Structure 1
Amino acid sequence: MDRLTEMEAFATVVDQGGFTDAAKKMGISKSAVSKHVSSLEARLGARLLNRTTRRVSPTEIGLAYYDRARRVLNDAGEADSLVTSMQSAPSGLLRISVATDFGVNHLSPVLGDFLQEFPDITVNMVLDNRYVELISEGFDMAVRIGELEDSSLRARKLTETTKRMIGAPSYFQKYGRPMKIDDLNDHKLLHYSSHSNGAVWKLTAPSGEKRQVRTAGWLSVNDGQSLLNAAISGLGIAYLPSFLCAEALEKGLVEEAIPDLPVETHGIYAVYPPGRFTQPKVRAFIDFLVYTFAEKGPDRW
């Protein structure tokens, strides 16, 4: 007899408390259930059930076997569901976490195209600059920029962005242009207030030396677009990702502060929980993002 069927018959008898109810649950005859259980006991060489005229209960060995058997049966059921799910159209609620700047400027404008292509998916996108715990906070995936801190998550690279130190021509005309990193101490820097190290810029000198700059300015704000607007207005120098400032640079609204510095490049990734199976809705959205950003970055935005 089939080993899995024997296991299912035994586990169902334990779950239902008897052969009659187990037979109804499985949709087979009571004698067939009894044969499956007897065959299992014979193969294992152990009595798994105590049988009386009034009740059926697992023996000590039977109870231990039941725990493992139920796990195997649950896994088998999940495997069947997996195949069905992978062949079905992507659907359901997709919860996404993304940093505010990237979400507003580059995800929000393309979500409509994604939802038109996959009408059975609904999206809940949370814009937040803090680091979220995907599994414990109930997110299906996140878009993250820079070095990935949690190596247990699966990741797929979407594109890259650079970071640019920029200021308005009017600012440089009034305050002069810094020629090297140390000159930034005499300038007004515009900082992120929401980042733990927002007031510290990590820069690389032409020599390759890693430097940190901490200088106050007129403005700290928890929004990159506001920092860009402040830089365009001539309020100071900002250090921003190219996905925010590339257009302003191209239009001449801002200029690079120290063009000779090595350019910092950061990856932009879709990250999602580990496991061999990726939900169709998650896979569909990641594939969509890979296609959407194929011609973007690191400075083409």
Structure 2
Amino acid sequence: MDLNQLALFVAVAEGRGFSSAAKKLGLPKSSVSRGIARLEASMGVQLLNRTTRTVALSTAGAALYERVSPMLAALRKSVGELPELEDAPSGELRITAVVDWGTSVLADVITRFTARYPAVSVDLHLDNRVVDLVAEGFDAALRLSVTPLKDSSLRARRLGPLALRLYAAPSYLARKGMPRHPRELEDHAWVAFRSGLPLRLVGAGETVLPPRRGAIQCDDMLFMREALRLGGGIGYLPTMLAEPDVAEGRLVNVLPKWSTPLGSAWFVSTAERHMPRKVAAFRDFLVETLKQRPLAT
């Protein structure tokens, strides 16, 4: 049974005529009349008694109206109360991001976002793998990539460039001295990030390959930061992760005129025709935040 035809029937019954129903629904009177005729044909019963002046419910029509009208009203109410149809963003927002992002950027962003939009709750999953947003039921992901994202089934917004810089603890530099050129890094203890990326130091019109191995190797930036804080040597960190320590004196930017460009950060969501308000609001809030606190400095 066609719900649109039932809606036409309820409108005719409540308006006691085809003209009033057509006016209420914004349809031609002929369309309403044809819809009612199709409904009666599909049910095999006459629902309305028609005269030249009046339209009245038949016995079957009255019984159908009594049963269907409350259901259609409840359905309209339920649809109208969907979170994404409300004026303000609301509902649960499920996000996935790499661990470094969650620790260094998203804790602050999400706390302030939920304060601005109290009707939104955020469920954050930190995972360094590439998550299938659709299959695993996520609204959005924060991804880091050295190349532009090409998955046409997703919608991506570039948030800004990423860069790595060299850092060390003041205690280490007091013992070993501050290098003045990347070639001098060979004489220093090196905390290495295990990565297949071709990390190159760029600056002063030169490109230099730094040491690839060190006394300490790992695949987690948070471990790297802690090892550097404790004086383990010199190593790479994303500026967004290291700058708070620089401001508080726990780390020093080594060779500040040299950096390693590392692609971009992206906000990725499913390519729905209409982006849910909660997703668009979080994207815009994140963009607003990163304008004030760029990822690469």
Q: Could you tell me the TM-score, scaled by structure 2's length? A: 0.64
- How far apart, CA to CA, are the structure 2 residues paired with 1:151 and 1:207? 35
The letter of the residue matching 1:237 is I
- Equivalent pair of 2:182/2:208 in contact (CA under 8 Å): no
The letter of the residue matching 1:285 is F
- Equivalent pair of 2:200/2:260 in contact (CA under 8 Å): no
Alpha-carbon offset, residue 117 of structure 1: 2.4
Check 1:276–1:23 CA distance in 2 against 1; reply closer, same or farther (3 A cut): closer
The letter of the residue matching 2:171 is S
- Equivalent pair of 1:159/1:296 in contact (CA under 8 Å): no
- Deviation per CA, 1:46-91: give whole Å up to 9, x if none: xxx9x9x9xxxxxxxxxxxxxxxxxxxxxxxxxx98x994554322
In the alignment of these two chains, the number of paired residues is: 244
- How far apart, CA to CA, are the structure 1 residues paired with 2:6 and 2:145? 57
- Equivalent pair of 2:169/2:251 in contact (CA under 8 Å): yes
The percentage of aligned residue pairs carrying the same residue is: 29
Equivalence map 1:1-301=2 (5 Å):
12=2, 27=10, 35-36=34-35, 85-86=84-85, 88-147=87-146, 148-152=148-152, 153-192=154-193, 197=196, 201-204=199-202, 206-207=204-205, 209=207, 211=209, 213-220=211-218, 222=220, 224-264=221-261, 266-298=263-295
Segment drifting more, 163-172 vs 239-248: 163-172
- Equivalent pair of 1:144/1:269 in contact (CA under 8 Å): yes
- Equivalent pair of 2:8/2:35 in contact (CA under 8 Å): no
- Equivalent pair of 1:185/1:215 in contact (CA under 8 Å): no
- How far apart, CA to CA, are the structure 1 residues paired with 2:157 and 2:163? 18
> SS in structure 1 opposite 2:134?
coil
- Equivalent pair of 2:165/2:256 in contact (CA under 8 Å): no
- How far apart, CA to CA, are the structure 2 residues paired with 1:128 and 1:160? 21
Q: Could you tell me the TM-score, scaled by structure 1's length? A: 0.63
The aligned residue for residue 27 of structure 2 is none
Alpha-carbon offset, residue 126 of structure 1: 0.7
Ranges in structure 2 where 5+ consecutive residues have no aligned partner: 14-30, 45-78
- How far apart, CA to CA, are the structure 1 residues paired with 2:248 and 2:87? 46
> SS in structure 1 opposite 2:167?
strand
Segment drifting more, 176-185 vs 133-142: 176-185
Check 1:133–1:187 CA distance in 2 against 1; reply closer, same or farther (3 A cut): farther
The letter of the residue matching 1:127 is L
- Equivalent pair of 1:202/1:213 in contact (CA under 8 Å): no
Question: For the aligned residues, what is the CA RMSD?
Answer: 4.1
The letter of the residue matching 1:106 is V
- How far apart, CA to CA, are the structure 1 residues paired with 2:95 and 2:273? 20
Check 1:236–1:262 CA distance in 2 against 1; reply closer, same or farther (3 A cut): closer
Check 1:116–1:247 CA distance in 2 against 1; reply closer, same or farther (3 A cut): closer
Check 1:122–1:247 CA distance in 2 against 1; reply closer, same or farther (3 A cut): closer
The letter of the residue matching 1:269 is W
Alpha-carbon offset, residue 161 of structure 1: 4.2
> SS in structure 1 opposite 2:244?
helix
- Equivalent pair of 2:95/2:124 in contact (CA under 8 Å): yes
Check 1:24–1:260 CA distance in 2 against 1; reply closer, same or farther (3 A cut): closer
- How far apart, CA to CA, are the structure 2 residues paired with 1:128 and 1:159? 21
- How far apart, CA to CA, are the structure 1 residues paired with 2:215 and 2:150? 33
- How far apart, CA to CA, are the structure 2 residues paired with 1:23 and 1:266? 56
